[in-house]
Amino acid sequence: MRSEQPSEVVSVACAQLAPVLGDVDRNRARAAAAIEHAAARGARLVVLPELCISGYAFADRVEARRLAEPADGPTAQAWSELARRHELVIVGGICELDDEGAVRNSAVLIDASGLLAVYRKTHLWDREQLIFAAGEEPPRVLDTEAGRVGIAICYDAFFPEVMRGLALEGADVIAVPTNSPLLAPPTQPLSVEVVLAIASAHVNSVFVAQADRSGHERGIDWAQASAIVDPGGTLLAGPVDGASVLVAECDLASARDKALGARNDVLADRRPELYLEAFRSTPTTKETVS
């Protein structure tokens, strides 16, 4: 069923880090060590958590601004050097100070040539709304040496529209830099954040590479929901407790062939003529369709 596409195996890593809020230099060193470790294990695509250099739980906008950096700032420069040295593609989250002076929750995509793209989180979770300016551009897919990489940040991935959109634009792998606060003790064998990664991978027949936080920060524990999931919805790696680098071999061909069994295709089987009205309608619609 998945045999028509030429095999293209890429080793993908997700670094679950435990940065310390405000300790930018050491957080950058922690990220670099994880990238080196992933490279030593053969990784070509390395995904790091959301806001992994600054930390997450900012007291206010002033603190976030003080810890922000330009998209092409010191983190991008450090990651570009690592990408050159190890032939890597790197996706990770930074606290961005943009050209207009707005503070953004962003992910940068970097390869040996430097900064390829910046994505600014479009769905802000909870107090992020008090801190960051939301992105105005949709999540995107970039052609890289490690395949076609889509980017979504944490709560973005709770919107099936985002993950479907990236799949429709041809993503092989959706990289999801994440900081998932642990809202309640887990009551099921898989946390909801891991469940969503599996569901998104399966319904879109894409790889999902989610890099979450560990550690503690201003009273917050983390779901530690790092996971690498294949297009069939199988967990290849993760979740894991503590700071750790997950690595999995991903054959991108299995994301490029959307066939499901002998007669189905997860994208071609869509019936957009039946969905569009529903997707256009607003949540306030209360009319019964009958």
Residues 196-235 that bind its own copies (CB under 8 A): 196, 198-200, 202-203, 232-235
Helix, strand or coil for residue 167? helix
Whether 147 and 8 have beta carbons less than 8 Å apart is answered as yes
Measured CA distances, 76 to 91, 95, 159 (Å): 10, 12, 28
- Which of 41, 59, 168, 216 binds its own copies (CB under 8 A)? It is 168
Strand partners, 144: 147
277 included as an active-site residue: no
Angle between helices 74-86 and 24-40 (to 10 degrees): 20
Answer for the pair 47, 210: CB distance below 8 angstroms, yes or no. Answer: yes
Asked if 241 is part of the footprint of its own copies (rule: CB under 8 A), the reply reads: no
Whose CA is closest to 104, among 155, 35, 50, 47?
Answer: 50
Is residue 118 close enough to count as binding its own copies by CB under 8 A? Answer: no
Q: Distance (Å, rounded) from C-alpha 173 to C-alpha 277?
A: 29
Q: Which of 14, 69, 95, 121 is catalytic?
A: 121
Annotation marks residue 286 as catalytic: no
> By CB under 8 A, is residue 289 in contact with its own copies?
yes
Nearest CB to its own copies, comparing residues 217 and 265: 265
| Min dist. Cβ of residue 126 to its own copies (A) | 5
**Binding pattern for the stretch 143-162 against its own copies, x by CB under 8 A and - elsewhere:** x----x------x--xxxxx
Q: Report if residue 71 touches its own copies, rule: CB under 8 A.
A: no
Q: According to CB under 8 A, which one of 195, 240, 253, 259 is a site residue for its own copies?
A: 195
Tokens of 252: 């991108």
Q: How far is the CB of 57 from its own copies (least distance, A)?
A: 14
The residue count for binding its own copies (CB under 8 A) is 74
Residue with tokens 């297009």: 231
Concerning whether 14 is annotated as a catalytic residue, the answer is no
The b-or-e profile of 74-84 (16+ CB within 10 A means b, else e) is ebbebbbebbe
Stretch that binds its own copies, among 53-61, 95-103, 115-123, 240-248 (CB under 8 A): 115-123
Three-class SS state of 101: coil
Residue 107 · residue 118 · CB < 8 Å: yes
* Nearest-approach distance from CB 137 to its own copies, in angstroms: 8
With CB under 8 A as the contact rule, the residue among 49, 92, 93, 165 that binds its own copies is: 165
Where does this chain touch its own copies (CB under 8 A) — which range of 7-15, 29-37, 42-50, 136-144? 136-144
CA distance 252 to 242: 28
Contact call for residue 282 and its own copies (CB under 8 A): yes
3-state secondary structure of 88: coil
Q: Is 60 in the site for its own copies (CB under 8 A)?
A: no
Considering 52, 154, 250, 258, which one is annotated as catalytic?
Answer: 154
Enzyme catalytic residues: 50, 121, 154
